[in-house]
Amino acid sequence: MARHTGTFGSKLLPTVLYMVAACSAIPITDLLDRASQRSDQLHSLSTTLTQDLDSHLPLTVRLTLPRPSVCHTASLQTPNDKEQALQVPESDLLSLARSLLQAWEDPLVFLSTSANFLPHPAQNAISNKIQELRDHSKSLGDGLNILSGKMGPGARTISMLPYTGGNDVGQDTISQLINLNFLLSCFRRDSHKIDSFLKILRCRATGLPQMC
């Protein structure tokens, strides 16, 4: 029996080494390409979700009633315009993207649980889309983790941005909708940030400006 496992182990090790080598042989451009595709999907999904939620809420109500003004990720310093963004080193860009994505892990859980009780006509569709959001977010996070290993020590740092919104979604229907709407808009923006950073990184990685 020992000999049997020994042969199996001896076969396993080269296989693992081969796979590791093959994985590391995927060029960064391809990895970034995949990641940016994933982030693009994520942002599109969040956009449609916000539009679905907004459709039920009258515009006047939305504007007049008070709403929380600051997203929980606002504390993270991100570039404000193109010049600033293009000056940020790549590892920092990746770190920002990873931090943002990490910051939305818990709020998305909260979103999905509260979407189950959403007083909205399209509640089922919204609930499904939120679940999709979570799946995409998870796979993107995994991809970025892999990428971070290849882009320098700065890429591995993640800023913690705890979600302080709590689990209180509001008492009445309107406030519920407003709070959820606000949360989704914050997510939409952050997903756009992640998408932009990854596309900048992708273009830089190719080295051919005309290919971007």
Partner 1 sequence: MATQDVGAGPRPSPAPAPAPFRITGTRELMLRLPRASPLVRLVSLSSRLTGCASRRERALLGAAAGVHHGRGTEGRETGKTLLWLPLSGAKMRNVFEVMLLLLLLLLPLVTAHAGGQPNSPPGKPVLTSCRSPEKETFTCWWKPGSDGGLSTKHSLFYRKESSDAVHECPDYRTAGENSCFFNKNNTAIWVNYNITVVATNSLGSAYSDPVEVDVVYIVQPNPPENVTVSVMEDKGWPFLRVSWEPPRKADTRSGWITLVYELRVKLKEEDDWETHLAGQQKMFNILSLPSGGEYQVEVRCRPDHGFWSEWSSTSKANVPHHFRRDNSTWILMTVFFAFTFLIVAWLLHLNRHNLKRCILPPVPGPKIKGFDKKLLKSGKSNEIFSALVVPDYPSTPSSNYEDLLVDYLEVYVPTERELQLEESKDPHDDRLKSDSSTSDSDSGRGSCDSHTLLVDKEAKEEARQAECGQTRTEVQRSLKDWDALTYAQIDMVGRDVPSGRVKTWPSLYSPLPRHSSGPLDQQSSLQMAKQHSLSTSSFLAQEASGESYWDVCSHGELPRPLRAKTPPHRGLRARSDADVSGAGLKRAPAGPRSLAPHTSEYVEVQRVNNKDVVLLQPVVTGCYQALPGEVYSKVKRVDSDNILLLQREAREEDGYPGAEQENTTQKASACVYAAVLVQDQMAPMVNGYVDTATMCTLTC
Q: How far is the CB of 203 from partner 1 (least distance, A)?
A: 3
DSSP collapsed to 3 states, 137-190: HHHHHHHHHHHHCCCCHHHHCCCCCCCCCCCCCCCCHHHHHHHHHHHHHHHHHH
Select from 38, 129, 136, 202 the one that contacts partner 1 (CB under 8 A): 202
How many C-beta atoms lie closer than 10 Å to residue 75's C-beta?
12
Contact residues for 191 (Cβ-Cβ < 8 A; gap 6+): 39, 42, 43, 46
- CA distance linking residue 88 with residue 151, whole number of Å: 14
164 is an interface residue for partner 1 by CB under 8 A: no
Residues in the chain, overall count = 212
The answer to whether 46 and 191 have CB atoms below 8 angstroms apart is yes
66 is an interface residue for partner 1 by CB under 8 A: no
Contact residues for 23 (Cβ-Cβ < 8 A; gap 6+): none
How many binding residues for partner 1 (CB under 8 A)?
Answer: 28
Select 57 or 85, whichever has its Cβ closest to partner 1: 85
88 is an interface residue for partner 1 by CB under 8 A: no
Of 18-26, 123-131, 156-164, 192-200: span binding partner 1 (CB under 8 A):
192-200
Select 47 or 123, whichever has its Cβ closest to partner 1: 47
Select from 43, 72, 98, 136 the one that contacts partner 1 (CB under 8 A): 43
174 is an interface residue for partner 1 by CB under 8 A: no
- CA distance linking residue 190 with residue 101, whole number of Å: 8
12 is an interface residue for partner 1 by CB under 8 A: no
Select 114 or 196, whichever has its Cβ closest to partner 1: 196
Select from 10, 15, 69, 171 the one that contacts partner 1 (CB under 8 A): 69
Of 2-10, 39-47, 119-127, 147-155: span binding partner 1 (CB under 8 A):
39-47
Contact residues for 64 (Cβ-Cβ < 8 A; gap 6+): none
Select from 19, 20, 26, 86 the one that contacts partner 1 (CB under 8 A): 86
- Least Cα distance to 185 among 50, 13, 79, 51 occurs for 50
186 is an interface residue for partner 1 by CB under 8 A: no
Contact footprint for partner 1 (CB under 8 A):
40, 43-44, 47, 63, 69-70, 74, 78, 80-82, 85-86, 189, 192-193, 195-196, 199-204, 209-210, 212
